[in-house]
Amino acid sequence: MPAHEPENFPTPDATDQPTHPWRRFVAIGDSFTEGVGDPEPRLDGGYRGWADRVAEVLGSQVPDFAYANLAVRGRLIAPIIAEQVEPALALKPDLVTLCAGGNDIIRPGADPDAVAAQFEDAVARLSQSGATIVIFTGIDVGWQPVFRAMRGKIAIYNENLRAIADRYDCVVADQWGLKEIQDARFFDADRLHLNPLGHHEVARMVLRTLNVSNDLVPMQPDPFPSTTWRTARVGDFVWARSHLVPWVLRRLRHQSSGDNVTAKRPEPLPMEILAPGQDPNAQPGKTV
What is the maximum alpha-carbon separation in the chain?
Answer: 59
Report the domain count for the chain: 1
Q: Let me know if residue 133 belongs to a domain.
A: yes
Q: Let me know if residue 269 belongs to a domain.
A: yes
> Domain range for residue 236?
24-221+230-275
Domain of 133, CATH number, reads 3.40.50.1110
Average pLDDT over residues 104-112: 92
The pLDDT of residue 143: 87
CA 185/CA 1 separation, integer angstroms: 17
**For the segment 58-101, what is each residue's pLDDT rounded down to a tens digit?**
999 999 999 999 999 999 999 999 999 999 999 999 999 999 99
Q: Let me know if residue 283 belongs to a domain.
A: no
Q: Let me know if residue 14 belongs to a domain.
A: no
Q: Let me know if residue 66 belongs to a domain.
A: yes
CA 256/CA 75 separation, integer angstroms: 8
Q: Let me know if residue 28 belongs to a domain.
A: yes
CA 74/CA 56 separation, integer angstroms: 25
First to last CA, the chain: 20
